[in-house]
Amino acid sequence: MPVDVQSLAKRRGFIWQSAEIYGSMAGFYDYGAMGAMLKKKWENTWLKYFMGLDDNYYLIDPANIMPEAALKASGHVDSFTDPLVECTKCGHAVRADQLIEEVTGAAAEDLSPEQIDSKIVELNLSCQRCKGHFGSAKIFHMMFPLDIGTKGTDKAYLRPETAQGAYLNFKRHFEIMRRKLPLGLIVIGKAYRNEIAPRQGVYRMRELIQAELQIFMDPETFSDELDMKEMEGKEINVQLVDMRGKQDVQSMPCRYLIDQYKLPDFYVYHMLKIQEFYLDVIRVPKNKFRFYEKSEKERAFYNRVHFDIEIDLATLGGFKELAGLHYRGDYDLTKHQAGSKESMEVSLDGRRLIPHVLELSFGVDRNVWALLDLHLVDERTGVLKLAPSLAPYTFAVLPLMRKDELIPVAREIHTLLKNDFDVYYDQSGSIGKRYARMDEIGTPFCITVDFDGLEDNTVTIRDTDSSEQKRIPIDELERIARGLASGKLLFRDLK
């Protein structure tokens, strides 16, 4: 019996549909007290890891609203669209490509409205809700337009992706950061898409969060900047195009992907880095992780190489895209050079070039969902087994009972730890119920103050993974907490 993650996520304070007291709008979600902390932890973990790939990678925070001219240049105004068909009887709106794909199993992204109309006739498709006929297919623009200022004359849009903000900021950062490549610009923030049919919970949202690293680089020298030795003897989980339908995932040597499959070595290097992030840091089981190759037809024309990063999620029925690794060439900066009339060329050792972009793009909401899906291990007990670095709260401080002798000591310990760690304090209800509550939100360690401890200045630490308890001196609590939180000290090694 699969765990009902959706209702658990709601009941435990992680995530639910926005504006629920007004009946909610599809595609918008609110993170609750636990969800907001979990999301922040994922973002911090992601940021630390990917910003750490190079000394010249930085976090920036561009505006969410972008002028029309910039999105015209990027191609979004003209082609950020989906094909739409509506039922002539009940008005039900459907993404035409998905409607056709569900029946034929073949990609329908490239069909024109006329081709869609004839496919609908050919396949005899009708409205799933009322069996009514579909009207003719239309091109639907997915950006949210805005009229800025009192006269509304400045046309703008909510950004459809965070990447554009990084491209617009490239030239200035290149100057500020002493004209070096590679230069990485990271944005973690919201993006907005007027999806025709938001569905599968947080998987397709109208307001979503992205975490993206745009690496601006010189394709001729980028490899020299990377430690290629790290790839020796390493393998990557992939599903190449010709494996589809035969094999979900196969582990392949980095060397094979570079030498025989002819992927750029810097691309494979970043595949390995992403895989290490998921397997070692996020602790995704190896058999649930893969890079899914997009065929030439499926990928955007400007992407020279494109693999999606997919994780096998029980709640979403199989491997689902959580991120993408895109080698976009010089497409973006060339487009913005043409649109803005500002030169995007840089000069390096006497060579002039428009830098190429390698984009590492992650959907934050999907990744947070994946944590709940993967780590909610037991429906009966509902224990959420998160790595200490990802748990909303790393520690809980609990007096064994609500007794006057215990509470001041527990309060003192809470005060001692809360500046350095995320610590939850709870003194109400039975200790068993409070442990269960911490198990449910993934708090890895509970520190309990009891009467024995008052005698000898100790507390107990309980490990959620094993529900084992150990007694430690209060004097050593800070040091031990630091070790456990960082993962440098394991609970089983505690004496």
CA gap 112, 119 in Å, rounded: 10
- Nearest distance from residue 203's CB to Zn ion, in Å? 24
Stretch that binds Zn ion, among 63-71, 86-94, 398-406, 438-446 (CB under 5 A): 86-94
431-460 mask for Zn ion (x: CB under 5 A)?
------------------------------
* CB-based contact 293:318 (threshold 8 Å): no
Candidates 34, 84, 87, 208; binder of Zn ion (CB under 5 A) is 87
Strand arrangement of the beta sheet that strand 305-313 belongs to: 57-59, 183-192, 207-217, 356-363, 318-329, 305-313, 289-293, 235-239, 250-253
Helix axes 33-51, 364-375, angle to 10 degrees: 110
Cβ-based burial of 337 (10 A; exposed 0-12, middle 13-18, buried ≥19): middle
How many residues at the interface with Zn ion, by CB under 5 A?
A: 8
Stretch that binds Zn ion, among 81-89, 312-320, 395-403, 451-459 (CB under 5 A): 81-89
- Nearest distance from residue 135's CB to Zn ion, in Å? 11
Query: Given the complex with Zn ion, which of 26 and 176 has the nearer CB atom?
Result: 26
* CB-based contact 73:339 (threshold 8 Å): yes
Strand-pair partners of 192 = 207
- Nearest distance from residue 270's CB to Zn ion, in Å? 45
Query: Given the complex with Zn ion, which of 127 and 374 has the nearer CB atom?
Result: 127
Question: For residue 67, what are the CA distances in angstroms to 77, 147, 194, 474, 488?
Answer: 11, 10, 18, 57, 47
Residues 148-167 that bind Zn ion (CB under 5 A): none
Query: Given the complex with Zn ion, which of 126 and 223 has the nearer CB atom?
Result: 126
Query: Given the complex with Zn ion, which of 91 and 487 has the nearer CB atom?
Result: 91
- Nearest distance from residue 89's CB to Zn ion, in Å? 5
Query: Given the complex with Zn ion, which of 133 and 155 has the nearer CB atom?
Result: 133
- Nearest distance from residue 114's CB to Zn ion, in Å? 22
DSSP codes, 155-170 = EEEE-S-SHHHHHHHH
Query: Given the complex with Zn ion, which of 130 and 377 has the nearer CB atom?
Result: 130
Candidates 25, 33, 59, 90; binder of Zn ion (CB under 5 A) is 90
Residues 109-148 that bind Zn ion (CB under 5 A): 127, 129-130, 132
Maximum distance among all Cα pairs of the chain, rounded to whole angstroms:
82
CA gap 61, 165 in Å, rounded: 8
Nearest one of 429, 421, 399, 394 to 411, comparing CA atoms = 399
Stretch that binds Zn ion, among 91-99, 156-164, 192-200, 458-466 (CB under 5 A): 91-99
Which letter does DSSP use for residue 11 in this model?
H
| Number of residues that make up the chain | 495
Query: Given the complex with Zn ion, which of 85 and 409 has the nearer CB atom?
Result: 85
Which letter does DSSP use for residue 398 in this model?
E
Query: Given the complex with Zn ion, which of 87 and 354 has the nearer CB atom?
Result: 87
Q: Does 384 bind Zn ion (CB under 5 A)?
A: no
Which of helix, strand or coil describes residue 268?
Answer: helix
- Nearest distance from residue 92's CB to Zn ion, in Å? 4
- Nearest distance from residue 137's CB to Zn ion, in Å? 15
Query: Given the complex with Zn ion, which of 26 and 130 has the nearer CB atom?
Result: 130
Stretch that binds Zn ion, among 79-87, 339-347, 385-393, 419-427 (CB under 5 A): 79-87
CA gap 104, 24 in Å, rounded: 33
The token pair that represents 21 in the structure block: 């007291």
The token pair that represents 8 in the structure block: 């658990």
CA gap 52, 277 in Å, rounded: 12
Footprint on this chain of Zn ion (rule: CB under 5 A): 87, 89-90, 92, 127, 129-130, 132
